[in-house]
Homo-oligomer: A and B are copies of this chain.
């Protein structure tokens, strides 16, 4: 797998987390986490790790993923099933958006 493929996979995973948080916002179940801060607390993981995974900036270890799934209170296979619904196109869109934002930020400096 080359670096570009890895980048796309990281972003697909990140988008899966965002989608799950969004779903929990729309149809709040009891104790369901609906923000990265709540997820980090429920998963017992540092906030910056959860944030970086959700932004596609981190390739998490397996045990971190297990913790994230438990933070969502779902089986890991369900989290992965969500990941599998995210297309490469959606990942590429997030990557482009991040690039644009980075450029804007650089211009402001």
Instruction: Give residues in A with beta carbon < 8 Å to B.
Output: 1, 5-6, 9-10, 13, 44, 59-63, 65-67, 75-77, 80-81, 83-84
Contact = CB atoms under 8 A, between A and B. Distances in A.
Contacts of A66: 1, 9
Contacts of A10: 62-63
Copies of this protein in the complex: 2
Contacts of A1: 44, 63, 66-67
A61 B2 CA distance: 14
A84 B80 contact: no
Contacts of A65: 62
Given A1-B66, A9-B62, A77-B80, 14 more contacts: A1-B63, A1-B67, A5-B63, A6-B63, A9-B66, A10-B62, A59-B61, A59-B62, A59-B63, A61-B62, A62-B62, A76-B83, A76-B84, A77-B84
